[in-house]
Amino acid sequence: MPFRVTFVCTGNICRSPMAEWVLRHHVEEEGLDVDVDSSGTGGWHVGDGADSRTVQALQRAGYRSAHIARQFEAGWFGSYDLIIALDRGHARALRSMAPGEAARDKIRLLREFDPKAAGRDLDVPDPYYGDRADFEQVLELVEAAMPGLLDEIRAALETV
């Protein structure tokens, strides 16, 4: 059974699909048995594709992208091994809907996996109202967290 990871942001059109496709790229490249997806805390964009600026930032960096936005549901906690929030607000929203301590323990912030972020603000800023540079900054923050996240996933796969 694959290790399952989901990323969660606000509307599931900017940050979480970006993180999803960056991690997908890395786990596919390494041949790891990992399923990756994403969702949002709100339902405003359910059924929409990723923001075009997210898609463009991913493509410029050599990543693929295909996405349909969806909203995270409380019943999904049992389906995931790791639920990664893109900012503290998302983490709070997820913790509030978690059915118990075991579910809350699955929730982590993406930037927790970036050793250079220690002691700093762990939020990935929302680029939605920004420009190309804001989306590029989000991609940089996502990529900076990937080595640590991959280490965590590899360690979890070794214990299975």
What was the pLDDT predicted at 118? 80
The DSSP string of 104-134 is HTTEEEGGGG-GGGTTS--PPPP-TTS-HHH
Tokens describing residue 119: 């002691």
Query: What strands lie across the sheet with 82-85, from one edge to the other?
Result: 34-40, 3-9, 82-85, 107-109
41 vs 5, 57, 87, 114, 137, CA distance in Å? 16, 23, 11, 23, 22
Smallest Cα–Cα separation from 51: which of 127, 125, 136, 146? Answer: 127
| Residue 15 known to be catalytic | yes
Give the predicted TM-score (pTM) of the model.
0.97
155 pLDDT band, cuts 50/70/90, is very high
Q: Looking at 9, 53, 108, 114, which residue is catalytic?
A: 9
Helix (H, G, I), strand (E, B), or coil: what is residue 92? helix
CATH node for 3-153: 3.40.50.2300
126: annotated active-site residue: yes
Active-site residue, from 35, 48, 104, 126: 126
Angle of helix 15-30 relative to helix 52-60, nearest 10 degrees?
30
Name every residue whose Cβ is closer than 8 Å to that of residue 136 and which is 6 or more positions away in sequence. Answer: 57
* 12-57 per-position pLDDT tens digit: 999 999 999 999 999 999 999 999 999 999 999 999 999 999 999 9
Determine the average pLDDT of the residues in 146-159: 96
Q: What is the pLDDT of residues 69-80, one digit of tens each?
A: 999 999 999 999
- The residue from 15, 24, 53, 108 that is catalytic is 15
Q: Could you give the CA distance from residue 90 to residue 109 in angstroms, rounded to a whole number?
A: 9
Query: 3-state DSSP call for residue 9?
Result: strand
- Known active-site residue 4: no
Tokens 């080595």, residue located: 147
* Secondary structure of residue 7 in the 3-state scheme: strand
